[in-house]
Structure 1
Amino acid sequence: MTDRLELADLVATYARCVDRKDPAGVAACFAPDGVLRRIDLPSGGSLLGERTGRDEITQAISRMPYHSTFHFLGQQQIDITGDTASGETYCIAHHLTVPEDGSPSTDFIMFIRYQDEFVRLAEGWRFAGRELHIDWTETRPAECVQS
């Protein structure tokens, strides 16, 4: 049960680090040679991007063009075999865009299933591979409250 809790915590840490604009924190969730992929299922499973290693992942996350994001995690299934595991986590990810020209803000919503491969390292469980499968998206008007 401890492994399941640690893996769930890793998934939540990834989401929190993305939402807090912490690219190094996101990358630290991966093994040194870990791979992050984005796959668009509505277009027939097109690979939208692939980053390998913590440096590439850090750079990719640091270039996200959104004002803020909000990842809401759903159900999770994990299968553990020794020091490796695989799993799937559902997520609804909101991406807020606030144009500088004063035009209306938008919320780009991605309905995602993360397909994960995990590995246990000396530093704990990490992603060996994470595929972000985009099932569908929608864009909505949004009100941005500046703090």
Structure 2
Amino acid sequence: MDTEETRRQLRNLTDRAEITDLLDRYLRSLDEGVFDEEWARAFHTEDVSAEMPIGTVHGRAALLARVRRAMALFDRTVHLRTNTVIEIDGDRATARGAQLSTHVPADGPAGLFVSAGHTDDELVRTPDGWRIRASALRVVWTQGTPPRLPDAAPAAEGLPAA
């Protein structure tokens, strides 16, 4: 194998590891509950677009505000992602993975709210590393009663905003 091919393969493996790490850290961060500007910059581009069960937000500031409000509805959460398939094309990549999210509501119904489905992410390489430019959460089933954002219209399919 020539040196150029070895470099290409090493770059591909490094990119995959960095993207996997970014997506894993993002889901873990949802469970840790610190949502500030530094958090938003660590995972998303300024022009991020995020499609969620009750609508889409555009821009890092809008996403940060939505995540803060939505995650405040829960005392504790555990978010898991698996079976992620990553496709890399230079400084752009896509990733699709299965997601299982378990939520303990802060107020309201006793018991858990669980959702499962998949996420589709578009990522770009930035000077600070890989960042999410677009994401879409597609929930395929839920169990339990979801809490509602106080000022939100009824959620599509009974789902909260995160």
Per-residue CA deviation, residues 7-60 of structure 1 (Å, 9 max, x unaligned), is 001111110111111223552211110111114xxxxxxxx2211111111111
Superposed CA RMSD: 1.7
Letter in 2 for 1:121: T
Which residue of the partner structure matches residue 43 of structure 1? none
Which residue of the partner structure matches residue 123 of structure 1? 128
**Which of 10, 18, 25 is equivalent to 1:13?**
25
Query: Secondary structure at the residue paired with 2:47?
Result: strand
Query: Any runs of at least 4 consecutive aligned residues in structure 1 with deviations exceeding 6 A, and if so which?
Result: none
Which residue of the partner structure matches residue 40 of structure 2? 27
Per-residue CA deviation, residues 34-90 of structure 1 (Å, 9 max, x unaligned), is 111114xxxxxxxx2211111111111110211111102211000000000011011
Contact 1:32 1:53 in 2 (8 A): yes
Contact 1:117 1:130 in 2 (8 A): yes
Q: TM-score, normalised by structure 2?
A: 0.74
Q: TM-score, normalised by structure 1?
A: 0.81
Matches within 5 A, 1:62-141: 62-64=68-70, 65-99=73-107, 105-139=110-144
Larger radius of gyration, structure 1 or 2? 2
Q: Which runs of 5+ in 1 are unaligned?
A: 40-47, 141-147
Letter in 1 for 2:30: V
CA distance in 2, matches of 1:22, 1:75: 26
CA distance in 1, matches of 2:97, 2:39: 16
Structure with the higher fraction of residues in strand conformation: 1
Query: Secondary structure at the residue paired with 2:107?
Result: coil
Closer/same/farther in 2, CA of residues 32 and 98 from structure 1, 3 Å limit = closer
CA distance in 1, matches of 2:102, 2:39: 17
CA distance in 1, matches of 2:57, 2:106: 27
